[in-house]
Structure 1
């Protein structure tokens, strides 16, 4: 009986630690819906391209492993690209939104902060409630800009056959 209870508790604990989570949706659901859930099969997030103009985040593209996702959003404003170092993961995303995303600040497990856009709107702060999980992919909606965004958190090597353990 005690062995059965111990095995059950261990199984439940392991399942809870492996469970992915998400935070958001921040912004407005207007526009074309997108999800990059399939992109996580290409590897961990290794780089980001974010385009912003004087008012809002106009576009985003994420590199999973060595492969870039489809670009989402519009073409106005300047684009910046950030590269993550080996072993570096996005552990938190802060930002500001109204009916569009105005600002995104990506924070890594190594303490780096990458800020895009303008300090306008209602603040949000997203991170995983589960220890040792990081940003695995994004979803949301877009048209001429990023209208809404959600962040999906999991173990950095989940669902990836060729990621380093």
Structure 2
């Protein structure tokens, strides 16, 4: 099983399917659809210079919040110039999620929720996006698995309690932020913001003519 890893180490690439997925085919269809649409964008952008990117200007989509909830609300600040490039999670005693950080471009957001715990992180490759999430919770968040459009995944914590899954309802959306709630010991809830990728796709230059 691929785990979130201590900061500074390289995560070995993992291919779908990931750990013991108990969900209906609808989840995988949604995640696969997101992967295929984004892949199609990249191929189309390489084939046609200056081709418009589908979906630009569409409204941000937010999932419900998963978990028992309660406590202080938090949300990552919007970043309209950079994609999500990493996730960092700290876990404490009994596997409770203490805190979470999101990396946009080359900069980490502030740490949300409680201090302390053991920290692990997952760094995305250039052009890679998170397109689906699976997790579990009791009174506090216990487990997260992140799936990307390059077929990799990383897990944090241990599965325990009620499970949930989240992915964008529109295939071209990717993870662009998170929100949730915290109490003294850690995270009681988490939700996900989905939108178009922030970084424009590169195109192949027009061939020079002699």
**Paired residue for 2:200?**
164
**Paired residue for 1:154?**
195
Which segment is superposed worse, 124-133 or 23-32?
23-32
**Paired residue for 2:80?**
41
Asked if 1:19 is matched to 2:59, the reply is yes
- CA spacing shift, 1:118–1:76, aligned 2, 3 Å: farther
CA shift at 1:92, angstroms? 0.3
CA shift at 1:66, angstroms? 1.7
The separation in 1 between residues aligned to 2:88 and 2:100, in whole angstroms, is 6
**Paired residue for 1:29?**
69
CA shift at 1:49, angstroms? 0.8
After superposition, what is the alpha-carbon deviation per residue over 1:42-75, rounded to whole angstroms, capped at 9, x for unaligned?
Answer: 5110111111133221110011112211101223
The separation in 2 between residues aligned to 1:88 and 1:18, in whole angstroms, is 20
- CA spacing shift, 1:32–1:42, aligned 2, 3 Å: farther
CA shift at 1:99, angstroms? 2.2
The separation in 2 between residues aligned to 1:16 and 1:43, in whole angstroms, is 15
**Paired residue for 2:127?**
87
Which segment is superposed worse, 119-128 or 49-58?
49-58
Asked if 1:50 is matched to 2:86, the reply is no
CA contact (8 A) 2:55 2:172 kept: no
CA shift at 1:18, angstroms? 2.0
TM-score, normalised to structure 2's length? 0.64
**Paired residue for 2:40?**
none
TM-score, normalised to structure 1's length? 0.80
- Which of these residues, 107, 115, 134, is aligned with residue 75 of structure 1? 115
- Structure 1's unaligned 5+ residue stretches are 1-13, 158-162
- Structure 2's unaligned 5+ residue stretches are 1-53, 202-210
The separation in 2 between residues aligned to 1:112 and 1:15, in whole angstroms, is 24
CA shift at 1:16, angstroms? 10
Q: Could you say which structure has the higher strand fraction?
A: 1
The separation in 2 between residues aligned to 1:106 and 1:17, in whole angstroms, is 26
| SS of corresponding position for 1:41 | coil
The separation in 1 between residues aligned to 2:103 and 2:70, in whole angstroms, is 25
Aligned CA RMSD, in angstroms, stands at 2.0
The separation in 1 between residues aligned to 2:147 and 2:74, in whole angstroms, is 23
